[in-house]
Homo-oligomer: A and B are copies of this chain.
């Protein structure tokens, strides 16, 4: 009954689900960044003709999911489950996208870890025999996130140098029980780890311990080391969090070498004034759906690990004096 479980937190797939296709839609800032050419579509502005940023984010998510279906020439009728999540209260971007998609819908919340979480759970549903095709979609939007979590963007408040810039972007992957493409071979579901960081302008620091914990547990469960992976990409710790995660892994005796990077470090360059890097569900979603998938398909990466990292606070919990709990979920993709 329990044969696919390895160690404490990891599952290994008997028939590894295939990533049939991936697609990403991003805003202009992301399009101007170093990964600009890897995205499926770049919007000219964050509204794209919609009446609110919230409506625009939900439409962006739909576009990404439709893009993934189109790439694989898979019709809606062939999808067994849609799995989605985002950062907004009550995950409305996903809910309203699901209304348009009219598919059996499983909503998830893992903050910025949602892409990896959805891919992990979706793979279990496929390998478990419950679905042939699962459509995963995740989004975030700079302006919807700013006004919900921080300050109205119209106010033009100065951002802390440790803050990360929420990506405007939606990424989607279509997972399938058969077909050609990279395969998801294992997944590690993370535990909530809290090192008592309370600074909402330094979420990389809050999430770093959870990412380190998940990488350690994954390697322990699988009896592997970081060098066995061509790439380990967290998403999204930013520059400060990535440094801290490396440091924590080093303290635990693990050398991550040069393979460990972060989607929040990759997506913008220094000229883009994004301070500590990028964050938001959409960040790891579009970096994975674009850059990482292309590198796996080209053969540059034979084995990659995406470690989605989520800060599981809310504005209310922070106002009530709580620290920021973090979580990391890992999925391993082989070309």
Contact between A81 and B189, CB atoms less than 8 A apart: yes
Pairwise interchain contact A99-B194, C-beta atoms closer than 8 A: yes
Q: Does B117 lie within 8 Å of A124, measured CB to CB?
A: no
Q: Is the Cβ of B4 less than 8 Å from the Cβ of A99? A: no
**What are some 10 contacts across the A-B interface (CB < 8 A)?**
A1-B15, A81-B189, A88-B316, A90-B312, A92-B316, A98-B192, A102-B192, A105-B189, A121-B121, A121-B125
- Copies of this chain, whole number: 2
Residues of B within 8 A of A90 (CB): 87, 89, 109, 111, 312-314, 317
Q: Separation in Å of the A147 CB from the closest CB of chain B?
A: 9
CB < 8 Å: which of B9, B132, B148, B316 contacts A104? B9
Residues of chain B with a CB closer than 8 A to A125's CB: 121, 124, 128
CA of A121 to CA of B83, assembled, Å: 11
| Complex: A232 Cα to B194 Cα, angstroms | 41
Question: Of the 9-residue stretches A20-28, A294-302, A320-328, which lies at the interface with chain B?
Answer: A320-328
Proximity bits, A181-195, B CB within 8 Å = 1, else 0:
000000001111110
**Interface residues, chain A, CB within 8 Å of chain B?**
1-5, 8-9, 11, 14-15, 51-52, 54-55, 80-81, 85, 87-92, 95-96, 98-99, 101-111, 117, 121, 124-132, 148, 177-178, 189-194, 312-317, 320, 322, 325, 327
Chain B residues with CB under 8 Å of A327's CB are 98, 105
Assess whether B320 is in contact with A54, with CB atoms less than 8 Å apart.
yes
Contact between B9 and A89, CB atoms less than 8 A apart: no
Whether the Cβ atoms of A96 and B317 lie closer than 8 Å is yes
**What chain B residues lie within 8 Å of A99 (beta carbons)?**
192-194, 312, 325
Q: Are B89 and A190 in contact (CB under 8 A)?
A: no
Question: What is the chain B residue whose CB lies nearest that of A129?
Answer: B4
Known: A90-B314, A313-B92, A316-B89. A117 touches B106 (CB 8 A): yes
Contact A106 B108 (CB under 8 A): yes
Q: Which of B14, B105, B189 contacts A106 (CB 8 A)?
A: B189
CB of B1 within 8 A of CB of A178, answer: yes
Chain B: CB-nearest residue to A81? B189
Q: Is B102 touching A314 in the complex (CB atoms < 8 A)?
A: no
Collect the chain B residues with CB atoms within 8 Å of residue A95's CB. Answer: 192, 312-313, 325
